[in-house]
A = this chain, B = another copy of it.
Amino acid sequence: MRNLLAKTLFALLLLANAAFAADPLPSWNDGPAKQSIINFVTKVTKAGSPDFVPVPERIATFDNDGTLWSEQPMYFQLLFAVDRVKALAPQHPEWQTQEPFASLLKGDMKGVMAGGEKALLELVMATHAGMTTEEFDKTVKDWLATARHPKTGKRYTEMVYQPMLEVLTYLRANGFKTFIVSGGGIEFMRPWTEKVYGVPPEQVVGSSIKTKWETRSGKPALVRLPEINFIDDKTGKPVGINSHIGRRPIAAFGNSDGDRQMLEWTQAGDGARLMVLVHHDDAKREWAYGPESKIGTFSDALMAEAKKQGWTVVSMKNDWIRIYPFE
């Protein structure tokens, strides 16, 4: 009997060693970015370490557009709105002459963009409001099942970053709760984040429009209204984190000026912290854009703050072995 116990313990020891030795981030090149993530996780999870953080406090937040999936040639949610306008156009003959719809239906996205924020808001409201939450959920799922990215020809949910999927898994394996905190629409993300990222709907924070309780065909329904409820961007991100999570993250991942305050809020807490910015510098395998970009702006000021504060800047070109899972 003692022999069996010894054998069993030895086998368990081997397994434990193997698990320990396996690289949790195989799509990352060795370097300071990968090392900073592993060092952080190691120290906050080591019992007795001065940096130890109890499991319930292990909160990590991730921006979505440009941090977990691509955002070029424009936010994928905007491509969804464009496709929805085209699909709904037969029911809206007035759109043929009414901006920004007229430009969009002629394929003139520059004309749409010329209308600025007001035009974009009109597009979003025309395509995101007026139906129940369940109808919108189905519309998003149907679109994702058929739509293809104009450049890669892949489904949008395939254009997620393999190295970040590994970070999500690695953090959860170490007792972290992973949240998405995105400027994108909360109801646009929830239908697919659980399947694609392993992040359940209740751990998604985003921008939203108001909803209203109604009885439709004798059944209760929540109807989506053409009215902004909350913009989860810039200073809105800490506000959204406080409202939805109610705890300060100890790790935060972003890629643009819209994530600055989320990282500052994360850093301002006590104890060990991890702040990460993904830098889009890989024109060959993804896109390269920085301060000049209309979306996902990574300003010089943000880069300067990252350096000054010791944040981790990930070079997609140098730090990532693979970009997408399908590669």
Choose from B4, B220, B238 the contact partner of A261 (Cβ within 8 Å).
Answer: B220
Q: Does residue A1 face the partner (Cβ distance < 8 Å to B)? A: yes
Chain B residues whose C-beta falls within 8 Å of the C-beta of A203 in the assembled complex:
202
**Are the C-beta atoms of A242 and B268 separated by less than 8 Å?**
no
Chain B residues whose C-beta falls within 8 Å of the C-beta of A222 in the assembled complex:
238-239, 242
Chain B residues whose C-beta falls within 8 Å of the C-beta of A56 in the assembled complex:
194, 200
**Are the C-beta atoms of A246 and B190 separated by less than 8 Å?**
yes
Look across to chain B and name the residue whose beta carbon is closest to the beta carbon of A265. B220
> A244-B244, A261-B220 are contacts. A211–B239 as well, Cβ < 8 Å?
yes
CA A4 – CA B2 in complex, angstroms? 11
* Nearest CB on B from A114, distance (A): 31
Q: Does residue A247 face the partner (Cβ distance < 8 Å to B)? A: yes
Interface residues on A, range: 35 or more
Q: Does residue A243 face the partner (Cβ distance < 8 Å to B)? A: yes
CA A224 – CA B245 in complex, angstroms? 16
Q: Does residue A133 face the partner (Cβ distance < 8 Å to B)? A: yes
**Are the C-beta atoms of A213 and B239 separated by less than 8 Å?**
yes
Q: Does residue A201 face the partner (Cβ distance < 8 Å to B)? A: yes
> A222-B242, A238-B222, A239-B213 are contacts. A201–B247 as well, Cβ < 8 Å?
yes
**Are the C-beta atoms of A204 and B246 separated by less than 8 Å?**
yes
CA A204 – CA B186 in complex, angstroms? 18
**Are the C-beta atoms of B238 and A220 separated by less than 8 Å?**
yes
* Nearest CB on B from A234, distance (A): 8
CA A261 – CA B220 in complex, angstroms? 8
Report A233-270 CB contacts with B as 1/0, cut-off 8 Å.
Answer: 00100110011111100000000000001001100100
**Are the C-beta atoms of A268 and B4 separated by less than 8 Å?**
no
Report A204-221 CB contacts with B as 1/0, cut-off 8 Å.
Answer: 100010011100000110
Choose from B177, B201, B219, B246 the contact partner of A186 (Cβ within 8 Å).
Answer: B246
What 10 additional pairs, Cβ within 8 angstroms, besides A4-B4, A201-B245, A211-B239? A59-B202, A186-B243, A186-B246, A187-B246, A201-B246, A202-B245, A202-B246, A213-B235, A220-B238, A220-B264
Closest 3 CB pairs of A and B: A201-B246, A213-B235, A202-B245
